[in-house]
Amino acid sequence: MFDLVVDPSLQDLILEINNKKGIIAAVCHGTIAFANIKSDNGYLVENRFVTGFCNEEETMFGKAAAEFPFLFEDKLLARAAKFQKGEVMLPFMIVDDNFITGQNPYSTILVAEQIIKSIGKEPAKRKKYKDELSMELVKRAVKGEMAWARAEIKSAKDNYDLELIAVYGYYQAMFAKEDLEKIRMATMIVEIVTPYYFKEDIFVALGNYYLKLNDKTKATATLNEVLKRNPDLGPANTLLAQVREQ
């Protein structure tokens, strides 16, 4: 965002590879390296389908965004790129001719394997990483396979990063503000793992989200679970008192 986007040597190299129809790939903020490259017909990304770290992801997870000279998504759109994005922080990749771009860090493996396929090879068979499997599960859940996700965790929880799944839902609910539908989906994601995972801060937050959804039964049960483990926890006691007052 500060250096590669204005690096003339890199721009020349990318343009040379593109003229030879070589594979050009980037993930997350890396796609910004293409933004200022000009070809005979204008900017290299003009009318090209690309993806990268979107504005919503920057708002939620981009700690350095306040120091950036521009936002990634805004710059690509200003260059007339056909910018596309999937769900926040879930795997998403776009292939446009010889360009392969991934939206965020969880898209890295998709891009890597697509590069291999694009040069006429098959990716080696391998065991998927826990974080990879976890984000794939969350993506299927938010697309309507919530029941499958619950059953999968119940039967094979050791294959997944339960904390990562819980934290994903936690952040989704946090940034949903007062959007109750987003909060409801986020709490459902956390619920996928709560029978097998406990963390005090997340459970207190979950109790608060249930309260926003006016589900006093779940709010009470969640907060009581926290207080059973830590009876003197102030935030849990305060929130439980609010539940009882309503």
Domains in the chain: boundaries = 4-118, 130-245
Over the range 204-236, which residues count as b (16 or more CB within 10 Å of their CB) and which as e? bbbbbbbbbbebeebbbebbebbbeeeeebeeb
Residue with tokens 């056909």: 82
Please check whether residue 169 is in contact with residue 190, taking contact to mean a CB–CB distance below 8 angstroms. yes
Return d(Cα 191, Cα 21) in angstroms, integer.
Answer: 47
What is the architecture of the domain spanning 4-118?
Answer: 3-Layer(aba) Sandwich (3.40)
At residue 65, φ and ψ (nearest 5 deg) are -60, -35
Which is nearest to 87 in space by CA: 136, 26, 18?
136
Residue (of 245, 235, 205) closest to 222 by Cα position: 205
* 3-state DSSP helix/strand/coil % of the chain, to nearest 5: 60, 10, 35
Task: Report pLDDT for 40.
Answer: 84
Position 59 scores a pLDDT of 87
Class of domain 130-245: mainly alpha
Residue 183: how many other CB atoms lie within 10 Å = 21
3-class DSSP string for 14-25: HHHHHHCCCCEE
- What are φ and ψ of residue 227, in 5° steps? -70, -25
Cβ neighbourhood burial of 153 (10 Å; 0-12, 13-18, 19+): buried
* Residue 22: alpha-carbon gap to chain centroid: 29
Contact 172, 186 (CB under 8 A): yes
Residue 196, SS3 per DSSP: coil
Tokens read off for 205 = 């937050």
How long is the chain?
246
Sequential pLDDT tens for the chain (246 residues): 999 999 999 999 999 999 999 999 999 999 999 999 998 889 999 999 999 999 999 988 877 778 889 999 999 999 999 999 999 999 999 999 999 999 999 999 999 999 999 999 999 999 999 999 999 999 999 999 999 999 999 999 999 999 999 999 999 999 998 999 999 999 999 999 999 999 999 999 999 999 999 999 999 999 999 999 999 999 999 999 998 888
Q: What is the pLDDT of residue 32?
A: 96
Q: Do 160 and 134 touch, CB atoms closer than 8 A?
A: yes
162 Cβ contact list (under 8 Å, min separation 6): 134, 153, 193, 196, 197
The per-residue pLDDT for 66 is 82
